[in-house]
Structure 1
Amino acid sequence: MVFLSSCSNNDTEQVINNTALNQTDKDALLFMLEEEKLARDTYEYLDNLWSINQFGNIKNSEQSHMNAVANLLTQSNVPYEILPYGEFMNTEIQNLYDQFVDDGSISMNNALTIGATIEDLDIRDLQDYIDLTSNVALLSVFENLQCGSRNHLRSFISVIENLGGSYVPQYISQEQFDNIINSEKEQCN
């Protein structure tokens, strides 16, 4: 249920689970909706190109992630739009998508590296937003999405290593990466 609270600093704050949804929280939700779409759309493209199980399976999970974020936006009466596949409102995300599909089209190994890179980026961005909010609904969804991204990263790294390759994290620290890779698959809510 969504409640409206009194205005402060001319900003209307919305409440989910009795915790204020401020503009930073709204911006986080809108950004993460597009970043989850980035993952889904890229994996859809790469799955069609390479038919690798990870892309086929994980793109469905990314759709679930998008749905979780969209549900919070809807509950909060925050307007949003989901553009067609491969199209993004955020130019940074659009540029990443364009680069990812170009690089992922070169080889199967590149495609798997793109998958790991997306999950690496997602883990970092989700952590940044987790650190900025006290909204329990956002924390719950973002922590669940991050759990899923850690599992996805493990899956991509497993295939990369089985093919004799390696991956160097680009967005999270090497220590955080090693901790994720060396731990068991998690059960996410």
Structure 2
Amino acid sequence: MKQFVIFIVIGILLVSVGVGCIQDQKTSTTSLTEEEKQGILWMREEEKLARDVYLTLYEKWHLPIFNNIAESEQTHMDAVKSLIDKYALEDPVIDEVGKFNNPELQELYNQLVEKGSKSVEDALIVGAMIEELDIVDLQKWISKTDKQDIIGVYENLMKGSRNHLRSFVSNLKNYGVTYEPQYLSKEEYEKIINSPMESGT
């Protein structure tokens, strides 16, 4: 009888510990600052913007680079989605190409597609612009958090964006176009372009 009582007590203690752990996990999901939340939601839609622009321009020009990088942008979207799931945020993504919750990103998408539809060269310039903007925004959001999981995702996305920027600039050279940075400083842009492709993206 004593052993039976002991087993019951142990069982109750284990359940209590388990509930406590679950409560701790739930608490951690609400520990984001407003800027951290804003950054995650912004980057989720910004990565979608990149994907959607590239899908649209691929339909227009049938250049493999747009299809290939669109696939990479989908993995970027998935990476940010993992943060949304982890921190129990509401996903802002509308499951339709070219549609966005954020009006600023909606307007930017419209402008980029319009510019990229003028010529192949303009389309490649748009690609380089998007990757530049991605890098600048990721740097900004990294500066506003100290959470290593968020920083890790953002830094990996930046590697991908640097590689994509190199690819677009290289393709532009094949068309006789020298790309001029629109968002990055000339120094930072040159440092990226003159360095090799990065792995682990």
Partner of 1:74: 85
Is residue 73 of structure 2 the alignment partner of residue 37 of structure 1? no
Q: Give distance in 1, aligned partners of 2:99 and 2:33.
A: 27
Q: Check the 8 A contact 1:14/1:22 in 2, yes or no.
A: no
Higher strand share: 1
| Deviation at residue 141 of structure 1 after TM alignment | 0.2
In structure 2, stretches of 5+ residues that fail to align are 1-21
Identity %: 44
Letter of the aligned partner of 1:92 in structure 2?
E
Paired residue type of 1:14: T
Deviations 1:67-126 (A, max 9, x none): 000111011111113211101111111111001111111000000000000000000000
Report the counterpart of residue 25 of structure 2 in structure 1: 3
Partner of 2:116: 104
Which 10-residue stretch deviates more, 140-149 or 69-78? 69-78
Cα distance, 1:3 vs structure 2: 2.2
Which residue of 126, 129, 136 maps to 1:117? 129
Q: Does 1:147 align with 2:162?
A: no
State yes or no: 1:60 paired with 2:82. no
Kindly indicate whether the alpha-carbon contact (under 8 Å) linking 2:40 and 2:84 is maintained by their aligned counterparts in 1.
Answer: yes
Structure with greater Cα Rg: 2
Q: CA deviation at 1:188?
A: 2.3
**Which of 22, 26, 31 does residue 37 from structure 2 map onto?**
26
SS in 1 for 2:25: strand
| Alignment gaps of 5+ in structure 1 | 6-12
- Alignment RMSD: 1.5
**Which residue identity does 1:53 align to in structure 2?**
P
The residue aligned with 1:14 is 29
Q: TM-score, normalised by structure 1?
A: 0.90
1:173 and 1:37 map into 2 onto residues whose CA distance is 25
Aligned counterpart, 1:168: 180
Q: Which has the higher helix share?
A: 2
Q: What's 1:187 paired with?
A: 199
Cα contact 1:43–1:56 (8 A) shared by 2: yes
Report the 3-state secondary structure (helix = DSSP H, G, I; strand = E; otherwise coil) of the residue aligned with 1:77. coil
Question: What is the CA–CA distance in structure 1 between the aligned matches of 2:39 and 2:136, rounded to whole Å?
Answer: 13
In 1, Cα distance between equivalents of 2:104 and 2:182: 16
> Which residue of structure 2 aligns with residue 46 of structure 1?
57
What's the secondary structure of 1:21's corresponding residue? coil
**Greater displacement, 20-29 / 44-53:** 20-29
Q: Tell me the secondary structure at the aligned position of residue 86 of structure 1.
A: coil
Regions of 4+ moved over 4 Å? none
C-alpha distance after superposition, 1:98-157 (max 9, x if no partner): 011111110000000000000000000000011111011110000000000000000000
Give the corresponding residue for 2:150: 138
| Structure 2 residue 114 is the aligned partner of structure 1 residue 92 | no
